[in-house]
Structure 1
Amino acid sequence: MRLGALGTSSIAWRRTLPTAVRVPEVDLVALAGRSADKAERFAAHFGCAAESGFDALLERPDVEAVYISLPTALHHEWAAKAIRAGKHVLVEKPVGVDAREARELCALAEEHDVVLRENFMFLHHPQHSFVRDLLEKGRLGTLSSFHAAFCIPPLPADDIRYASDMGGGALLDVGVYPLRAAGLLLGPGVRVAGATLRTRATDGLDLSGQALLVSPSGVLAHIAFGFEHAYASTYTLWGDRARVTVDRAFTPPPAYEPVVLLEEQGHQERFTLPAADQLGACLASFAAAVRAGGTDSAREGADLRHDTVAAMELVEAVRREAVRVTVDQ
């Protein structure tokens, strides 16, 4: 799959583009950034062409798909332009700043018969399939609660994730992970029962938060997220027979061997799983969807678009229901 990159973000430099040039399913052809100098540096490092601008990259006939790692507030604009140019799109999460942008992009991708996916790498890690298999086999009994957290320490003051006009904030950056995990593990129809947000006094940017969710089957969920914590990336599912915990749920390194902890009364089991490159699997899956004809309108593509919109509807519900606490920062 001949790929072009829009954006010179940190995640592109550290993770996505090094993986793209390594996996056999992808050929990185060209790159464009908001800074010409930075784009030249990226292009030289990754061995691809540097384009003069985003529009020029989208006009290249040898680019059939684009990876977008621009600030979140620009995702909708450039994903829409790429789709209208006939390009398949892998966009950094989240797909936009609200559910309206998600719905518009999903509808546009279906209309133009192209693949649209978010770069939610964790969805492609087999540790979650292992956990779902435990659930389906009844090892946990009747599920009653779900707890998930993705929290990171404070960022440098000039980090783009602190820019409210660029789609910054903890909810859109890290909160979307436990929200998406709730949908993955509890099924469709999860709704928000309540929420809190700690917001910056200067501009209302959310620095951290929590939310209470409930599934259609009555499973109660609690999620936490933020830029104000020691690192945590975990979830626990709790039933009347046992509970299971995944400690590196969202960003395990490729060489990391996940440990899934199953706790029953008076008994514990630790399952050490094989290491897996979730980003490589994400890129390979995207390339396979493109190679399948690009429609992405079969069940898998339709389900992914539905999940994308549902996750952004949960984001909006958290914002709507949240009790806000203003903090000086």
Structure 2
Amino acid sequence: MVKVLNWGVLGASNFARKQMAPAIHAARGARLVALATSDAGKARGFTAFCPDLRVHDSYQALLEDPGVDAVYIPLPNALHVEWAQKAVRAGKHVLVEKPIAMTAAEIDDLIALRDDTGLLIAEAYMIVHHPQWIRARELVQSGAIGTVEHAEAVFCYDNRADRANVRNDPALGGGGIRDIGVYTYSSVRFATGAEPIDLLARIRTENGVDTWAQVVGQMDGPSGRFTYSAMTSMRLSPRQEVVIQGDRGQMRLTAPFNPGIFGPAELDLRRPDGTRTIENWPQDNQYILQIENFGRTVQKGADYPCPLEFSRGTQAMIDRVFDVAVDIG
């Protein structure tokens, strides 16, 4: 059993440079040792905080590096499954940016590969590692707000000026649903243990990608059925919010997806008598927590908070939204 997990990053994306590579560098039991990029300029953004980093000029060269135990893959969505499979076949554990695949059937293939090799393959769905969401799930499932009657989730940002962004490119698996629907759909599934039973969706598209989507329907969980609504957009001013309402109270998360960047991690529990309890977590970094949990699973056999089966449920919901969506122009 390795005491320190040596990580390589497959591609010098801005998100990897700003968030995930520093998180790997800071996490206990982890060490950032390698980066794959053919762009020396992009590599400098990583070596600035990790001077001893080995820089490979191709993805395959990094996968052939015997000093790399685990690979983080922040490539465009359409490339996730291909390179996850290549990394695992090279003997590496793999953490893949969300969405880990383009369809639920592709995740079935990854589950089979994981089970066959014994290597950890996981989606980088970081919020389930954050104490605000662990607490939200505890409160919902303990009955703190009574029986869940309704849940709503919103995630919006505006990237219309960045036409070269991969999220605006249909060939690379772009669109708001794949990029941030992962959050608005899966966060409610995580907190409530519920799954969708019927959904309606309206979307607006530009150049072959969805730029706005509204989903409504019903979900069914341990405490019964409840109504659900979600909105995602790549063309609106930034907004993040999740509200879960029960018959004896409600909870509101005001920075549920990018705490510390969008705003403070805060959970506001409100009861029918008007009393409120506000909890916050100003210091916790969900990216570091994710890397540390990944390491504990690899090194100690601990259960991973976001197994592929959970990710498959989210992708099945995304697939279903696309199946029923009506483009309203």
TM-score, with length taken from structure 1: 0.91
* Corresponding position of 1:247: 254
- Partner Cα separation in structure 2 for residue 119 and residue 108 of structure 1: 18
Q: 2:25 aligns with which of 21, 25, 30?
A: 21
CA shift digits 1:79-133 (9 cap, x unpaired): 0000111100011111011212222112211211100111111111111222223
Please list, as runs of the form range in 1=range in 2, the aligned pairs for 1:254-269 lying within 5 A after superposition.
257-269=264-276
Shift in Å at residue 255 of structure 1?
11
Q: 2:171 aligns with which of 162, 165, 172?
A: 165
* Corresponding position of 1:232: 239
**Identical counterparts, % of pairs:** 29
Shift in Å at residue 289 of structure 1?
1.2
Q: Which amino acid aligns with 1:268?
A: T
> SS in structure 2 opposite 1:152?
strand
- Partner Cα separation in structure 1 for residue 246 and residue 47 of structure 2: 52
Equivalent pairs, count: 318
2:210 paired with 1:206: yes
* Corresponding position of 2:278: 271
- Partner Cα separation in structure 2 for residue 265 and residue 302 of structure 1: 32
- Partner Cα separation in structure 2 for residue 173 and residue 303 of structure 1: 17
| Cα pair 2:129 2:305 within 8 Å, conserved | no
* Corresponding position of 1:106: 111
Distance 1:324 1:111, change over 3 A: same
> SS in structure 1 opposite 2:268?
strand
Which segment is superposed worse, 187-196 or 137-146? 187-196
- Partner Cα separation in structure 1 for residue 306 and residue 176 of structure 2: 26
Distance 1:136 1:205, change over 3 A: closer
- Partner Cα separation in structure 2 for residue 51 and residue 79 of structure 1: 18
* Corresponding position of 1:289: 297
- Partner Cα separation in structure 2 for residue 145 and residue 90 of structure 1: 32
> SS in structure 1 opposite 2:113?
helix
CA shift digits 1:50-74 (9 cap, x unpaired): 0121111111111111000111111
> SS in structure 1 opposite 2:307?
helix
- Partner Cα separation in structure 2 for residue 41 and residue 143 of structure 1: 49
Q: Which amino acid aligns with 1:177?
A: Y
| Cα pair 2:33 2:54 within 8 Å, conserved | yes
- Partner Cα separation in structure 1 for residue 131 and residue 41 of structure 2: 35
- Partner Cα separation in structure 1 for residue 34 and residue 132 of structure 2: 33
Shift in Å at residue 204 of structure 1?
2.2
| Cα pair 1:76 1:95 within 8 Å, conserved | yes
Q: Which amino acid aligns with 2:210?
A: D
- Partner Cα separation in structure 1 for residue 253 and residue 17 of structure 2: 28
- Partner Cα separation in structure 2 for residue 249 and residue 40 of structure 1: 31
2:228 paired with 1:221: yes
* Corresponding position of 2:39: 36
* Corresponding position of 2:58: 53
| Cα pair 1:39 1:50 within 8 Å, conserved | no
> SS in structure 2 opposite 1:12?
helix
2:132 paired with 1:124: no
Structure 2 unaligned blocks of 5 or more: none
Structure 1 unaligned blocks of 5 or more: none
- Partner Cα separation in structure 2 for residue 82 and residue 114 of structure 1: 10
Distance 1:111 1:315, change over 3 A: same
| Cα pair 1:43 1:50 within 8 Å, conserved | no
> SS in structure 1 opposite 2:195?
coil
Shift in Å at residue 254 of structure 1?
7.8
Q: Which amino acid aligns with 1:74?
A: L
Q: Which amino acid aligns with 1:261?
A: D
| Cα pair 1:43 1:49 within 8 Å, conserved | no
- Partner Cα separation in structure 2 for residue 256 and residue 199 of structure 1: 29
Q: Which amino acid aligns with 1:138?
A: G
Distance 1:301 1:126, change over 3 A: closer
> SS in structure 1 opposite 2:71?
strand
- Partner Cα separation in structure 2 for residue 55 and residue 136 of structure 1: 45
Distance 1:286 1:302, change over 3 A: closer
Q: 1:311 aligns with which of 311, 314, 317?
A: 314
Shift in Å at residue 135 of structure 1?
2.1
| Cα pair 1:96 1:102 within 8 Å, conserved | yes
* Corresponding position of 2:79: 74
| Cα pair 2:8 2:70 within 8 Å, conserved | yes
Which segment is superposed worse, 184-193 or 8-17? 184-193
| Cα pair 1:31 1:39 within 8 Å, conserved | no
